[in-house]
Structure 1
Amino acid sequence: MSTNKMQVEIWSDVMCPFCYIGKRHFETALGKFTDNQQVEITWKSFQLDPTLPEKEELDHEQYLTERKGLPKEQVKSLLGHVSQSAKQAGLDYHFEKVVTVNSFNAHRLIQMAKTKGLGDAAEERLFSAYFTEGHDIADRETLTKLGKEIGLTEEDVNEALTSEVYAGKVNRDIYEAQQIGVRGVPFFVFDRKYAVSGAQPPEAFTETLDRAFAEWRKANPAPALEITEGPSCTPDGSCS
């Protein structure tokens, strides 16, 4: 991570519907934030259900009713509500297509992507693959295809899924979440001082960005140079 930008760390799981919605809400706030070029985002791994198998056994409704013990009618109402919230954020969820599998391999891919500056691209592609397109995010062939779409090579993806380095990075993020008290995702941490839990509306992120950045800027003032002017050229092509 850079030291000359304010850090925002986001704990997230690819199989979390509110994490994708929260991503959109945060992006809306960040897009309107004047100093957004001075903010660096780091995605962190979290697993909502590490006991899930790598091979599909249940569809998403069955998963919530049989494994989580929720009444069927409550599940239908819940998924309808989440789909509507997603639509309001500009997302198109298809829970009937969702392949409910363990997300650990997807997190390994994200950790590899982060080393190439592609962490956000990996999160976005995997969210869309899971909630909109119904791809199997535990399947290695699928992850290779998705990884190549964002700019990784087949060798990169293979390394991500076989090297203990990236598995270790996933586990360290999960352990760190436990240490700082993360009980659910999405969980946004601003400059290790403030946190926003859940898919809050953009206004909540704007308020926290303003407060955290003001304190960060006070502690990290922009360089104030004393400039002696002379003949020069500017990027717009003018010289004087």
Structure 2
Amino acid sequence: MTTLKIDLVSDIACPWCAIGYARLQQAVATLPQLQIELEWHAFELNPDKNAPQEPILPALSRKYGRSEDEMRASQANMMKIAADLGLNFSKMQQRYTCNTFDGHRLVKWAATENKATAMKLALFDAYFGEAKDVSDATVLANCAEQAGLDKAQAERILSGDDYADSVTEDIANYQQAGISSVPAFIINNRYLISGAQEPAQLAASLQQIAAEMA
């Protein structure tokens, strides 16, 4: 059996990151000969912690230079893709922009408890499925509890700066490596797969990489 290490660079506020992970799961399910070791890494779409929060549609409209109707249609398409993958994106058009640094800190902590993926999925669900503010400490602590982590410990982490250096280092390292959009899948520190590719395409890429590593 071939083992592939996948470093997944993503942001909690990135819908394609949630879709990309779900597609990865589908791809891996078709490759029983491969063993996957996954590690989540931080990226920030909204790095300014002091930026005022605003409704997502006008924010995206301004960012991409497209009308709100165009952004609404784009989001609706993502909602359909997500639903087909079993993801809850039901309130993604009702969410607000927010900084995700503290959420990334909890993912780093969750990794020490082997619950990073559960933490990440709880954050995706809160943000896209429930339009919750995933920069809010109460929301984040509740997500940690949902992921099977100790809520009181999450609150203690959020009240301090635990794992902040780890997140900052993560973000800087991948920026320096040239990662400017997410999701980014880095395989065995050698191969880069960018974007939320379709499961079949992703599976073919992983199979090819595994063959080259053999």
Is TM-score (shorter-chain normalized) higher than 0.5? Answer: yes
The answer to whether the 8 A contact 1:14-1:126 is kept is: yes
Q: How far apart are 1:123 and its partner, in Å? A: 1.0
| Cα shift readout 1:48-89 (whole Å, capped 9, x = no counterpart) | 1212547x6321112223555532222222222222322333
- Contact 2:105–2:162 under 8 Å retained in 1: no
Equivalent position of 2:195 in the other structure: 198
Structure 1 unaligned runs (5+)?
Answer: 219-240
**How far apart are the structure 1 equivalents of 2:157 and 2:40?**
16
Name the amino acid aligned to 1:201: E
4+ long deviations beyond 6 Å:
none
RMSD: 2.1
Aligned to 1:32: 30
Deviation at 1:135, TM superposition (A): 1.5
Residue of 74, 78, 91 corresponding to 2:70:
74
The answer to whether the aligner puts 1:160 opposite 2:157 as a matched pair is: yes
Query: What is the CA–CA distance in structure 1 between the aligned matches of 2:123 and 2:68, rounded to whole Å?
Result: 27
Aligned amino acid, residue 58 of structure 1? E
Match of 2:132 in 1: 135
Please tell me the residue identity of whatever aligns with 1:122. Answer: M
Distance 2:191 2:53 in 1: 39
Matches within 5 A, 1:1-240: 5-36=3-34, 38-51=35-48, 53=50, 57-66=53-62, 69-93=65-89, 94-216=91-213, 218=214
**Which moved further from structure 2: 183-192 or 58-67?**
58-67
TM-score normalised over the length of structure 2? 0.89
Distance 2:157 2:3 in 1: 28
Summarize deviations over 1:108-130 as a string: whole Å, max 9, x none.
Answer: 11111011111111111111111
Identity of aligned residues (%): 28
Higher-RCO chain (CA-CA 8 Å, sequence separation at least 6): 2
1:152 deviation in Å?
1.5
1:170-191: per-residue Cα shift (whole Å, max 9, x none)?
1111112112211100000111
Alignment-mate amino acid for residue 207 of structure 2: D
Q: How many residues get paired?
A: 212
Q: CA deviation at 1:215?
A: 3.7
The 1:78–1:52 alpha-carbon spacing in structure 2 relative to 1, beyond 3 Å, is farther
Listed as ranges, the gaps of 5+ residues in structure 2 are: none
Contact 1:111-1:160 at 8 Å conserved across structures: no
Q: Residues 161 and 68 from structure 1, CA distance in 2 versus in 1: closer, same or farther, beyond 3 angstroms?
A: farther
Cα distance between partner residues in 2 of 1:172 and 1:52? 17
2:93 aligned counterpart, secondary structure: coil
